[in-house]
């Protein structure tokens, strides 16, 4: 009974279904290798082990459960550009400093 709880209303025990708070909504990525006979059982085991101890009122909305695999294109296909050396960076900084010194001299009217 995910999202449903017993509550006493007007002296009678009733089952109440809570509306989820979208501010508290979260997702989990369950490894496909989760050990279980059925994958749904693996999701349940993962939930009980990794989520419930920290959020006892949490539940799984099975209508939004997606089973698939995510490929990290950044991890597999990204080719980082080489970094500039410290000497190149220092040379750029010195060139900018020299340029600004000349500009200040021009503004101040110094020859």
Residue by residue, what is the 3-state secondary structure of 39-81?
HHHHHHHHHHHHCCCCCCCCCCCHHHCCCCCCCCHHHHHCCCC
Question: Does the pLDDT value for residue 6 go beyond 90?
Answer: no
Domain-by-domain residue ranges, the chain?
Answer: 4-70, 81-111
Most confident of 12-21, 37-46, 79-88: 79-88
For 8, phi then psi, to 5°, come to -95, 115
If you average pLDDT over residues 3-14, what whole number do you get? 83
Which of 18-27, 29-38, 53-62, 64-73 has the lowest average pLDDT?
A: 29-38
Between 80 and 35, where is the model more confident?
80
Question: Does the pLDDT value for residue 104 go beyond 90?
Answer: no
């Amino acid at each position: 009974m995910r999202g449903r709880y017993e509550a006493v209303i007007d002296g009678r025990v009733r089952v109440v279904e809570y509306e989820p708070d979208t501010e508290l909504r979260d997702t989990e990525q369950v490894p496909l290798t989760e050990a279980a006979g059925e994958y749904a059982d693996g999701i349940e085991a993962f939930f009980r082990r990794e989520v419930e101890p920290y959020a006892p009122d949490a539940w799984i909305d099975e209508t939004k459960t997606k089973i698939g695999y995510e490929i990290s294109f950044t991890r597999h296909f990204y080719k980082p550009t080489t970094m500039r050396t410290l000497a190149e960076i220092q040379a750029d900084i010195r060139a900018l400093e020299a340029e600004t010194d000349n500009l200040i001299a021009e503004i101040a009217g110094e020859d």
